[in-house]
């Protein structure tokens, strides 16, 4: 498996030794390069996810999706981006201007922040702290603030109602998400994202195999709660078009609306990426203990493994969205507080018992 640290070490030595730059300029240039890489990956994945959503939606509804702009509709997303960029940004009367303009940036900051913790390959960790899982949950919670103050700052009754719904829903489901992640931390013994992935390298070491029943249940609960956290169907009550127009971003136009649109799809990728990292081995290949098979699997780059697993989870979440009808607010909260929360607590206890008594599976 290729170690990306070879590339980062070479680039660092190129700046320090070959170019003779000081520590300040070296770190500054490296931060700029990493920041540009994050934004480029963020934008490219948004384009892919939007196009994928439209095609998956069309498939489930027995349609063909966008086909007119570009080959097989591949340029439709670019046309929509261009339209959004040149669209007029208008000011809303009687809105709280500070909150109104601040909200989209908070949502994007939360999305990019959690996106930066994803491990793309062996040694390709942008942010890798010893409390990485804790920081992922902490930074993602900033998005709740962005959603709430968007509705409140718009001074629109539909937006305010949507913001209240969204805040209650996201705060509620964050509890189940956090407990599922704690279960994984108990099994691996570390909160560092790279450490969690490394604990899953080797034959049949993915957490859903090591932790068997508790880990599998935690993965399923995480996917359901993550779908609700990302405000996606059937949990998209905050954006219920038939009731609330467009919800908390009703009064936004141009790139103000574009930020919310972008963040929704990248949050879907982040939820799927975290699920892949924690439960499906991240960039770790599928090894089953057979030398020939494992050797072939190890030739596949870790980036391919990570993206492949993540897009499988993305497809499953899209499948859920376009299969089930939208839930009512009482059904959403009942699902969390009466079913998912108790189940996640039971999973946490079971995982703790399994680890304490050595009942986890090791090959």
Rounded Cα–Cα distance for residues 304 and 313 (Å): 14
* Of the candidates 346, 349, 351, 329, the residue with the CA atom closest to the CA atom of residue 172: 329
Full-model pTM: 0.93
Rounded Cα–Cα distance for residues 160 and 343 (Å): 32
Rounded Cα–Cα distance for residues 363 and 290 (Å): 12
| Structure tokens that stand for 270 in this block | 């982040």
Q: What is the pLDDT of residue 362?
A: 64
Q: What is the pLDDT of residue 136?
A: 92
| Residue burial 138-168, b: 16+ Cβ < 10 Å; e: rest | ebbbbbbbbbbbbbbbbbbebbbbbbbbbbb
Q: What is the pLDDT of residue 285?
A: 92
The residues, ordered by sequence, that sit 6+ positions from 310 with a Cβ below 8 Å of its Cβ are 269, 272, 273, 276
* Per-position pLDDT tens, the chain of length 363: 678 889 989 999 999 988 888 899 999 999 999 999 999 999 899 999 999 999 999 999 899 888 888 888 889 999 988 888 888 777 788 888 888 889 999 999 999 999 999 999 988 888 888 888 999 999 988 988 888 898 888 888 888 888 888 888 888 999 999 999 999 999 999 999 999 999 998 888 899 998 889 999 999 999 999 999 888 878 888 777 777 777 788 888 888 888 888 888 999 999 999 999 999 999 999 888 888 888 899 899 999 999 999 999 999 999 999 898 888 888 999 999 999 999 999 999 999 999 998 888 765
Beta bridge partners of 125: 119
Q: What is the pLDDT of residue 363?
A: 55
Contacts 24+ apart (CB under 8 A), 335-338: 336/172, 336/173, 336/175, 336/176, 336/225, 336/228, 337/172
For residue 343, give the H/E element and its range.
helix 341-356
* Of the candidates 231, 300, 307, the residue with the CA atom closest to the CA atom of residue 272: 307
Q: What is the pLDDT of residue 89?
A: 77
């Amino acid at each position: 498996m290729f170690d990306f640290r070879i590339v980062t070490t070479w680039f660092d030595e190129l700046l320090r030794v070959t170019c003779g730059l000081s520590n300040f300029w070296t770190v500054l240039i490296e931060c700029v390069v990493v920041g540009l890489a994050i934004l480029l990956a963020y934008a490219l994945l948004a384009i892919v996810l939007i196009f994928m959503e439209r095609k998956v939606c069309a498939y489930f509804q027995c349609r063909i999706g966008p086909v007119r702009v570009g080959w097989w509709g591949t340029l439709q997303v670019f046309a929509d981006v261009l339209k959004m960029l040149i669209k007029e940004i208008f000011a809303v009367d009687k809105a709280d201007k500070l909150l109104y303009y601040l909200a989209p940036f908070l949502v994007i900051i939360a999305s990019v922040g959690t996106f930066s913790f994803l491990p793309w390959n062996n040694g390709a960790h942008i942010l890798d702290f010893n409390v990485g899982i804790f920081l992922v949950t902490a930074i993602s919670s900033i998005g709740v603030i962005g959603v709430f103050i968007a509705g409140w700052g718009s001074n629109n009754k539909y937006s305010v109602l949507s913001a209240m719904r969204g805040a209650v829903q996201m705060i509620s489901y964050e509890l189940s998400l956090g407990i599922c992640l704690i279960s994984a931390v108990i099994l691996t013994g570390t909160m560092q994202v790279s450490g969690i992935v490394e604990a899953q390298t080797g034959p049949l070491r993915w957490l859903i195999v090591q932790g068997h029943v508790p880990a599998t249940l935690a993965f399923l609960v995480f996917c359901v709660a993550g779908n609700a956290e990302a405000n996606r169907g059937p949990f998209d009550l905050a954006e219920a078009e038939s009731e609330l127009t467009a919800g908390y971003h009703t009064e936004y136009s141009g790139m103000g609306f574009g930020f919310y649109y972008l963040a929704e799809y990248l949050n879907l990728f982040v939820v799927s990426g975290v699920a892949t990292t924690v439960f499906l081995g991240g960039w770790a290949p599928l090894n089953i203990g057979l030398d020939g098979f494992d050797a072939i699997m190890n030739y596949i780059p870790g980036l391919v493994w990570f993206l492949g697993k993540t897009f499988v989870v993305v497809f499953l979440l899209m499948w859920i969205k376009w299969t089930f009808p939208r839930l009512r607010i009482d059904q959403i909260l009942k699902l969390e507080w009466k079913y998912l929360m108790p189940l996640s607590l039971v999973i946490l206890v079971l995982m703790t018992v399994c680890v304490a008594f050595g009942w986890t599976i090791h090959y």
